[in-house]
Structure 1
Amino acid sequence: MTAPPSGLARLVDGFDDVTVRDLAWLLFAPDLLREGDIALARPLATDAERDATLAWLRALDAAPQLLHDHARNPKFTRLGIYAESLVRYFLAHGPAARLVAANVPLRRQRRTIGECDFLLEAANGARLHWELAVKFYLHIGDGDASRAARLSDYVGPNLQDRFDLKHARLVTHQLALTTRAEFAALGFEGPWRAQLFIKGRLFYHGVEGEGTEPAPEVGDDHLRGWWLTASEWREARAKAPGDERAWVVQPRMAWLASRRLDAAAAATLVAESDAIRTRLEGTAAPTMIAAYARDDAGDWTEESRGFIVPDGWPEAARAFAASAG
């Protein structure tokens, strides 16, 4: 199964606090899309900003309470809101760009027509408008490995979102907000350059989660995972007797950076592995899991991430993807 990029894994694993790890992941993980028609945000535009930010994160890791007070709000029950709070903290307190405003609503006749995620001033004086998107899609495709994927082949696990729909919304609406008359009326001195801050992971069918040619809009270095149906998961496990990996069900708020697994927790998970696998075989909804393996030093590190989906999910996902026309 696919291991996370070693450079990102080593960087994130350098921080002990889970909230700091999530912030570091947002800043350093590769973009889901490639640079093209959409301009991508560069939170660390220079080597000096990168070095200063790493030093700032190390200090924050040693004393993370202010970050916790800001981001660990019990009202933040959606992953996107949590991620937004982390980026806002970085812009307000970090050593790179300066936050001008966040969550700026645009209204027409008392009706909200949009909201700018972040307005900021870069170190070089550029005025930037960032829209943040953190997305996790499963590639469904049509079984034809000879063609590149389309953005419509990437669907949300609950089949309520699709990459092509999100892409169109970003281009035609969200990134255009600072060009509207309603924004000009707010008095923020510009001009403003719109950029997309997009992170996440794309999951491909199969035990290895590799081999599928991605959609042309997708970034070359995007994070990958795998997905299997419950029946395929059962068959894969039957072919791997004596598997000593620890399997963890990832709650949605833990979908960003890899987590630490101490020896006691790993031992418990390994001991309960049969029960965990049986429960996943009967899953009623797509479930993200992570595999942890023990390294030569005896530490447990994340090896891969994937989704286990119900056996009927692929058919429904293909229908959802095909509705793009």
Structure 2
Amino acid sequence: MAAGASELTRLVDRFDDVAVRDLAWLLFAPDLLREGDAPLARPFDSPQERDATLAWLNALDASPQSLQSLHEHTRNPRFTRLGIYAESLLGYFLAHGPAARLIAANVPLRLQRRTIGECDFLLETANDVRLHWELAVKFYLHIGNGDASRAARLSDYVGPNLQDRFDLKHARLVTHQLALTSRTEFATLGFEGPWRAQLFIKGRLFYHGLVGERIDPAPEIGACHLRGWWLTASEWRDARARASDASGDERAWVVQPRLAWLASRRLDASDAESLIAESDAIRTRLETTVAPTMIAAYLRDEAGNWTEESRGFIVPDDWPERARAFAASAP
């Protein structure tokens, strides 16, 4: 029951509160992996639960006072743990929403006083099915090796800071995290089963080029996964110059802090005009970036509203070479 990219945008845009928008994105965004590659979580057992969840989100958006702790996350520039924020969102839904019932969260497993893992969520559906969910929200850039004839592999998708890779994360989730509730150590904790382990995996994959390469993704990846683009700082400078020469390009470019990587944000007219006025300074800063930076481009529609057109990463000019070396280190 996940939404496609355009449907997801329409669904999320009905909400004003930032945390409600992010929660709706988390619940309705397409999975990064395809069905069958791993057992995938489904937030709703039925169309009725889906409709009830939308009604619940509408009510929460109208009166979001109970989301204070989540709001504090998004407003605190020192809080950058996107995974913890996503866990808080999903935990809130399971504890207060109209679908599955939360039994426990962040359940540690220990062997001889050493922590060997932690179950993200234990829950029970309306049909009395007990589920173990492992949550992952990932953002990877596709690098490849320049050989268009070679099929994409999970190892071609690397984290922007080159400290993570999709094949490594996939193996950890499937072989270790999903197996936690079948271990002897879990059986001693007293959570009556049986438990069905599932992967709740969302995010976005970024492809080279301003419109994103339309390559065939790795076979494990969901066909409807969310896409973005990436360019080197020099490529972005040249693309911006061509766009301005061709059409007097008027876009508002927004640097996305980590906690804004989920749902799109609203951009009002005054914010947009300020960003356009500062566009030269923003462009100069990004052209000399020393670390990958996510940005979003906003365009003004016929009604005068600013809507997100695309999302991508600007990376340093030496990043692709380092990224290919990191991808090539896969077995």
**TM-score, structure 1 as length reference:** 0.97
1:292 maps onto 2:295 in alignment: no
Aligned 1:163-174 pairs, distance under 5 A: 163-174=166-177
SS in 2 for 1:239: helix
- Distance in 2 (alpha carbons) for counterparts of 1:106 and 1:71: 31
Alignment check: 8 A CA contact 2:19 2:70 kept: no
1:18 maps onto 2:37 in alignment: no
SS in 2 for 1:89: helix
Which stretches in structure 1 are left out of the alignment for 5+ residues? none
| Alignment partner, residue 130 of structure 2 | 127
Partner deviation per Cα, 1:69-95 (whole Å, 9 max, x = no partner): 356346853000000000000000000
Moved more, 282-291 or 66-75: 66-75
Alignment check: 8 A CA contact 2:144 2:324 kept: yes
Alignment check: 8 A CA contact 1:138 1:156 kept: yes
Alignment check: 8 A CA contact 1:230 1:281 kept: yes
Indicate which of 212, 232, 237 corresponds to 2:235. Answer: 232
- Distance in 2 (alpha carbons) for counterparts of 1:40 and 1:7: 21
- Distance in 1 (alpha carbons) for counterparts of 2:311 and 2:69: 29
- Distance in 2 (alpha carbons) for counterparts of 1:283 and 1:215: 29
Q: Which has the higher contact order (CA 8 A, sep 6+)?
A: 1
SS in 1 for 2:95: helix
Aligned 1:92-107 pairs, distance under 5 A: 92-107=95-110
> Structure 2: which amino acid aligns with 1:273?
S
Cα RMSD (Å):
1.2
SS in 1 for 2:212: coil
Partner deviation per Cα, 1:12-36 (whole Å, 9 max, x = no partner): 0000001100000000000000011
SS in 1 for 2:267: coil
1:269 maps onto 2:272 in alignment: no
SS in 2 for 1:198: strand
> Structure 2: which amino acid aligns with 1:77?
T
Alignment check: 8 A CA contact 1:145 1:213 kept: no
- Distance in 2 (alpha carbons) for counterparts of 1:322 and 1:306: 23
> Structure 2: which amino acid aligns with 1:243?
D
CA drift at 1:269: 0.6
SS in 1 for 2:191: coil
- Distance in 1 (alpha carbons) for counterparts of 2:257 and 2:235: 22
Aligned CA distance change for structure 1 residues 221 and 37 (closer, same or farther; 3 Å) = closer
Partner deviation per Cα, 1:252-277 (whole Å, 9 max, x = no partner): 01100000000000001111111111
Indicate which of 125, 134, 139 corresponds to 1:136. Answer: 139
SS in 2 for 1:240: helix
- Distance in 2 (alpha carbons) for counterparts of 1:198 and 1:318: 25
**TM-score, structure 2 as length reference:** 0.95
- Distance in 2 (alpha carbons) for counterparts of 1:195 and 1:321: 27
CA drift at 1:67: 1.7
> Structure 1: which amino acid aligns with 2:113?
R
Aligned CA distance change for structure 1 residues 178 and 285 (closer, same or farther; 3 Å) = same
| Alignment partner, residue 283 of structure 1 | 289
SS in 1 for 2:178: helix
| Alignment partner, residue 65 of structure 2 | 65
- Distance in 2 (alpha carbons) for counterparts of 1:266 and 1:167: 39
Aligned CA distance change for structure 1 residues 120 and 165 (closer, same or farther; 3 Å) = same
Moved more, 29-38 or 185-194: 29-38
- Distance in 2 (alpha carbons) for counterparts of 1:168 and 1:71: 33
- Distance in 2 (alpha carbons) for counterparts of 1:193 and 1:266: 47
1:183 maps onto 2:186 in alignment: yes
| Alignment partner, residue 113 of structure 2 | 110
Alignment check: 8 A CA contact 2:37 2:220 kept: no
Partner deviation per Cα, 1:95-119 (whole Å, 9 max, x = no partner): 0000000000001111111000000
Aligned 1:198-277 pairs, distance under 5 A: 198-241=201-244, 242-277=248-283
Moved more, 254-263 or 201-210: 201-210
> Structure 1: which amino acid aligns with 2:233?
A
SS in 1 for 2:312: strand
Aligned 1:304-319 pairs, distance under 5 A: 304-319=310-325
- Distance in 1 (alpha carbons) for counterparts of 2:256 and 2:215: 24
SS in 1 for 2:295: strand
Identity among equivalent pairs (%)? 81
Alignment check: 8 A CA contact 2:252 2:298 kept: yes
1:28 maps onto 2:34 in alignment: no
Which stretches in structure 2 are left out of the alignment for 5+ residues? none
- Distance in 1 (alpha carbons) for counterparts of 2:310 and 2:130: 38
| Alignment partner, residue 154 of structure 1 | 157
| Alignment partner, residue 194 of structure 1 | 197
CA drift at 1:144: 2.1
Alignment check: 8 A CA contact 2:70 2:85 kept: no
